[in-house]
A and B are shown apart, each in its own frame.
Chain A
Amino acid sequence: ETGVTQTPRHLVMGMTNKKSLKCEQHLGHNAMYWYKQSAKKPLELMFVYSLEERVENNSVPSRFSPECPNSSHLFLHLHTLQPEDSALYLCASSQALAGASTDTQYFGPGTRLTVL
């Protein structure tokens, strides 16, 4: 295991539902990330948090709302999603501050999201 856990592992939701994805890292890292992985597309960076402050937001639709209450936990709140939002959502963490790309990232197992 990588030291990064995600719950739930699978989620099926309707377009009017509200749900949250949870990520927890046990590595004492300073930066945390949300990625979206769709079939046949590169991994898409959604959000980066460094010491609980958002430092990167790659123009993600407002129906995705991140929350980072402390340096070990990261949430992704979902509401009024679309079927095209179905994907594997991956959380990662790294030691470096501000999500610097000089550092190795440690990934959780992902949440497989299906929007009906």
Chain B
Amino acid sequence: SQQGEEDPQALSIQEGENATMNCSYKTSINNLQWYRQNSGRGLVHLILIRSNEREKHSGRLRVTLDTSKKSSSLLITASRAADTASYFCATGGNSGNTPLVFGKGTRLSVIA
């Protein structure tokens, strides 16, 4: 399975600190995406990184991808209480019609 698996399962930090979440997967991918979910709500797309990219930024978010290690990381800098949510990675396969496969997520708590 190409399922992404996030690490850690839960993370608690103080406001202002950086938060790093990791995702590992098993098979070749076309792209990897990160999504955020507030409690009991739908997922919101954060960033997509393609297999030929190594790093991508969006505001306070920084995503890296290491295809040789089959892993990705999401860094949130200068965290805020509003960043409290679950974060999911989703992997897209190389076959054109394969759907995204989501991991179990990392629960991030940012304490004010």
Contacts and interface: CB of A to CB of B under 8 A. Distances in A.
User: How many A residues touch the partner, as a band?
Assistant: 20 to 34
A66 interface: no
Nearest to A99: B99
A29 to B, nearest CB: 13
A107 B38 CA distance: 12
B104 A102 contact: no
Interface in A25-63: 33, 40-43, 45, 48, 55-56
Interface stretch (A14-22, A70-78, A108-116): A108-116
A42 B3 contact: yes
A81 interface: no
A101 B31 contact: yes
A102 B99 contact: no
Q: Which 3 A-B pairs have the closest CB atoms?
A: A101-B92, A107-B42, A43-B102
Interface of A: 2, 4, 6, 33, 40-43, 45, 48, 55-56, 88, 90, 92, 98-102, 104-110, 112
Interface of B: 3, 30-31, 33, 35, 40-45, 48, 88, 91-93, 96-105
